[in-house]
Structure 1
Amino acid sequence: MLAFSFFMAIVRSLPHAPINSFPQGHVSPG
């Protein structure tokens, strides 16, 4: 499960996550 958490961290770090499956990734502070 660590890999998944690490992956999510990278996705959130990106300016715009192409993954729409995750609501958290879709939300960006800027």
Structure 2
Amino acid sequence: MRRVAWFIALYGGSLLVLGLVALAIRAALGL
């Protein structure tokens, strides 16, 4: 069960990071 929680946490965290990077790229291109 702990492994599943770790996988979910890593997956969610990676999605958040990718989202922030995408927003940063959009902002940079917008400028």
Provide TM-score, normalisation by structure 2: 0.44
- Specify which structure has the higher proportion of helix: 2
Identify which of structures 1 and 2 has the higher relative contact order when contacts are C-alpha pairs closer than 8 Å and 6+ apart: 1
Larger radius of gyration: 2
